[in-house]
A and B are shown apart, each in its own frame.
Chain A
Amino acid sequence: MATDFDVEFIEDTEREARFLVRGITPAFANGIRRAILADVPTLSIDTVRFVENSSVLFDEVLALRMGLVPLTTPEGEFDEDDTVTLAIDVEGPATAYSGDLVSPDPQVEPADENIPLIELKDGQRLEAEAEAKLGRGRDHAKFQGGVAVGYRHLQHVEVGDDASEYGEDEAQIVRGVIEDGDELVATSEFGHDLTNRYPGKEVTVEDVPNAFVFHVESDGSMPVDELVLRAVDTLSTRADELREKVSL
Chain B
Amino acid sequence: MSYKCSRCKRDVELDAYGGVRCPYCGHRVLLKERSRDVKEVDVQ
Contact = CB atoms under 8 A, between A and B. Distances in A.
Contacts of A54: 34
A155 B40 CA distance: 53
Nearest to A50: B39
A67 B43 contact: yes
Interface residues on B, range: under 10
A63 interface: yes
Interface in B1-44: 34, 38-44
Contacts, number: 35
Interface residues of A, number: 18
A96 interface: no
B38 A48 contact: no
B43 A46 contact: yes
Interface in A27-75: 44-51, 53-54, 59-60, 63-64, 66-67
B43 A59 contact: no
A66 B40 CA distance: 14
A63 B42 CA distance: 7
A51 B40 CA distance: 9
Nearest to B40: A49
A59 B39 contact: yes
Contacts of A49: 38-41
Contacts of B39: 49-50, 53, 59
A131 B13 CA distance: 36
A45 B40 CA distance: 13
B42 A46 contact: yes
A142 interface: yes
Contacts of B42: 46-47, 63
B41 A142 contact: no
Interface of B: 34, 38-44
Given A50-B38, A63-B41, 4 more contacts: A44-B43, A47-B41, A47-B42, A63-B42
